[in-house]
Amino acid sequence: MTNTALVDADRPFLVELESFSGPLDLLLHLIREQEIDIADIPIARIADQFLDVIETLGLNEAANYLEMAAWLLRIKIQVLLPRPFDDENWEDPRAQLVRRLLEYEQVRELVRWLEERADLRSAQFGRGYIEEPPVLDPTPIQLDMDEMMAAVERVLEAIPRRVLHRVVPRPLDVEGATERILEMLKRDGKMRFAELFDDYSTVADVLSALVAILELARKGRIRLRQRKPFGNMGISDESAVTAG
Amino acid sequence: MNRLSQLVEAALFAADGPVSLNALGALDRDASRSELMQALDTLRSEFREGQHGVELVEVAEGFQLLTRREFADSIARAQLVTRPRRLSGPALETLAIIAYRQPVGRAEIEEIRGVSVESVLRSLQERGLIDVVGRSEGTGRPLLYGTTLEFLELLGLKNLTELPRLEELSVALRSPEEASGMG
């Protein structure tokens, strides 16, 4: 968010919109900056300043602020209208705004209290510390086809089966995956393992691709890199390097 | 320290969060409530007077062993543990309103904050700091939210009565009854 400079009659001041948690926060800021008595808000001036600030907002953020702007304008107009002498029920149109602002100030005061408490508490540690996984050096892949298939078997075994009805298992499509990987590598030279999948990818798709890259790596067609355990795998075209 | 105090100490050491008095009672069915309180008192003063690095703290309607505050920086610097992420301003505003007005619906929170709070509510619920505690009788029977034990734990509060009373705040405020009558 950009800084918005508002020029007051007496002194300029800066408003950084992202630091406000809502229109009331911004309004309070405007009031405090100019040391205005909250019970006697110069509504026309404040409403104009408020509008100036929200003009810089994108549409998405503006929604919350527009409602407040409309309200401020309505109050501004109500204040300008002449009022009947004898109307005892007349209430200052700003009264509700003042109530909301005071209420919001109180919430801010509570927030400060909560923050203090949270800070105090966070200086004490309980038990239940879970160690971070160790950082391992990348190891070159050294395994043969049988070991790999055994590993695939273990992964398949580990997938919990809650059989409510039988489905015909979808066979692995290693050829298809190999083709896709080579095609993508031909185009880009390198890629990430995760790029092979989208939200609709199935376990069979992931396994097919896994078998495919392992086989390609074994043949020396591609190079695999994984910076940390369970991290994303980088795949680069090895044949291109040796050829070039 | 008698055996019950030692047992309580062992249980608090093993637990990964605050343990309620009821849960402590399950340690020894023969121990009465007052004996348990006695054991906790003994343990508390043992830690205080015995020059230990941890202390017995009453928090979130339970008891927990926590490291003493003065060691926080050294422990964090040694990267043995990480401090929990701090909550954002909008999240804290929402929490403050829920804490004081629970059970409270979304509309009332939005009226006070002047912004929509749907996503804030969702993330607070995901963090376990608030929960749905019921439904309002009003139109559409909107969900009502309340704070959880995790909320108390995050702030190190024994219970909700430890929150400052509204009269103690420097800003005067309309009562919730007045608020509900307003558009």
β-pair partners for B129: none
Is B113 part of the contact surface with chain A (CB cutoff 8 Å)? yes
Is B37 part of the contact surface with chain A (CB cutoff 8 Å)? no
**How confident is the model over B88-143, as pLDDT tens digits?**
889 999 999 999 999 999 999 999 999 889 989 999 998 899 999 999 888 888 99
Is B171 part of the contact surface with chain A (CB cutoff 8 Å)? yes
Give the ipTM.
0.86
CB contacts under 8 A, A 183-222 vs B, are: none
Q: What is the pLDDT of residue A146?
A: 83
Is A24 part of the contact surface with chain B (CB cutoff 8 Å)? yes
Looking at the fold, whether B70 and B112 belong to one and the same domain comes out as no
Looking at the fold, whether B126 and B171 belong to one and the same domain comes out as yes
User: Which parts of chain A have pLDDT scores under 70?
Assistant: 1-18, 57-61, 86-87, 128-141, 161-170, 240-244
Looking at the fold, whether B113 and B70 belong to one and the same domain comes out as no
Extents of the domains making up chain A: 3-81+93-115, 145-243
Residue where one domain finishes, among candidates B36, B53, B77:
B77
Per CB-CB distance under 8 Å, the chain A contacts of B57 are: 124
Strands B104-105 and B54-59: unpaired
**How confident is the model over A83-120, as pLDDT tens digits?**
777 667 777 888 889 989 999 999 999 999 999 999 99
As given in the structure block, the two tokens for residue A183 are 């095609």
How many independent structural domains does chain B possess?
2
Query: Is residue B84 one of the residues assigned to a domain?
Result: no
Q: What SS3 state is found at B164?
A: coil
Q: What is the pLDDT of residue B183?
A: 34
Which of A64, A106, A126 lies at the smallest CB-CB distance from B173? Answer: A106
Q: Which domain holds residue B25?
A: 3-77
Q: Under a CB-based contact definition with an 8 Å cutoff, are residues B106 and B95 in contact?
A: no
Average pLDDT for chain B: 88
Query: Is residue B9 one of the residues assigned to a domain?
Result: yes
CA–CA separation, A179 and A169 (whole Å): 22
Q: Regarding the domain delimited by A145-243, which CATH topology (the fold level of the hierarchy) does it fall under? A: Arc Repressor Mutant, subunit A (1.10.10)
Looking at the fold, whether B146 and B72 belong to one and the same domain comes out as no
Q: Under a CB-based contact definition with an 8 Å cutoff, are residues B158 and B61 in contact?
A: yes
Q: What is the pLDDT of residue B24?
A: 94
The percentage of residues in chain B with a pLDDT greater than 90, rounded to a whole number, is 67
Is B10 part of the contact surface with chain A (CB cutoff 8 Å)? no
Arithmetic mean of pLDDT, B52-77: 92
Sign of the dihedral through C-alpha B182, B106, A108, B131: positive
Dmax (CA) of chain A: 97
Per CB-CB distance under 8 Å, the chain A contacts of B68 are: 124
Residue where one domain finishes, among candidates B52, B77, B102:
B77
As given in the structure block, the two tokens for residue B40 are 């906790």
Q: What pTM did the predictor assign?
A: 0.64
Query: Is residue B82 one of the residues assigned to a domain?
Result: no
Q: CATH number for the domain including B103?
A: 1.10.10.10
Arithmetic mean of pLDDT, B9-13: 94
Query: Is residue B83 one of the residues assigned to a domain?
Result: no
Other Cβ atoms less than 10 A from the Cβ of A229: the count is 10
Residue where one domain finishes, among candidates B54, B77, B100:
B77
Q: What are phi and psi of A192, to 5 degrees?
A: -110, 150
Q: What is the pLDDT of residue B178?
A: 46
* Alpha-carbon separation of residue A83 from A90, A95, B172 (angstroms): 8, 16, 29
Per CB-CB distance under 8 Å, the chain A contacts of B95 are: 114
Strands A190-192 and A12-16: unpaired
